[in-house]
Amino acid sequence: MYTAKLIQGKTYHVMNKVFKIGEEQKVSKDLYIYLKPNKAFEVNEVQGENNGGEEPIHYTEAQLKGMQKSEHETIISNLGGNPSDFKNADERIAFILNHQENGGE
């Protein structure tokens, strides 16, 4: 399990989550990796009984279209792809939709 807490600013919206200052939330591994280098966040990997059994996230096409290129690239890397192989958002989205269905459950 992973958690993230906004420690700078008032609110932050990313990957369909809204963080408010000082509120700790459970986050996906993808979001944990994305937020880890961001100095506005304190992120943690919480060791616990269900840590290995985390459910994979399944993004919809609409969610993916609302994301930035860097968010696509993080997801592609986590799915085992190489972000530099894709020329545009449509190719990135197609890869994510295809691989999350095949590799998830």
pLDDT (0 to 100) of residue 39:
92
Q: What is the pLDDT of residues 1-20, one digit of tens each?
A: 889 999 998 999 888 889 99
On whether the pTM is more than 0.85, the answer is no
Q: What is the pLDDT of residues 66-105, one digit of tens each?
A: 889 998 998 888 888 999 999 999 999 999 999 886 654 3
pLDDT (0 to 100) of residue 88:
96
pLDDT (0 to 100) of residue 74:
87
Q: What is the pLDDT of residues 30-65, one digit of tens each?
A: 899 999 999 999 999 876 544 445 555 778 888 898
Distance (Å, rounded) from C-alpha 55 to C-alpha 53? 6
56-103 belongs to CATH 3.50.50.60: no
Of 19, 39, 18, 15, nearest to 29 (Cα)?
15
Give span(s): CATH 1.10.720.10, the chain.
56-103
Distance (Å, rounded) from C-alpha 80 to C-alpha 55? 17
pLDDT (0 to 100) of residue 50:
46
Instruction: Report the topology of domain 2-52.
Output: Ribosomal Protein L9; domain 1 (3.40.5)
> Which tokens in the block code for residue 28?
């996906």
Of 71, 68, 75, nearest to 97 (Cα)?
75
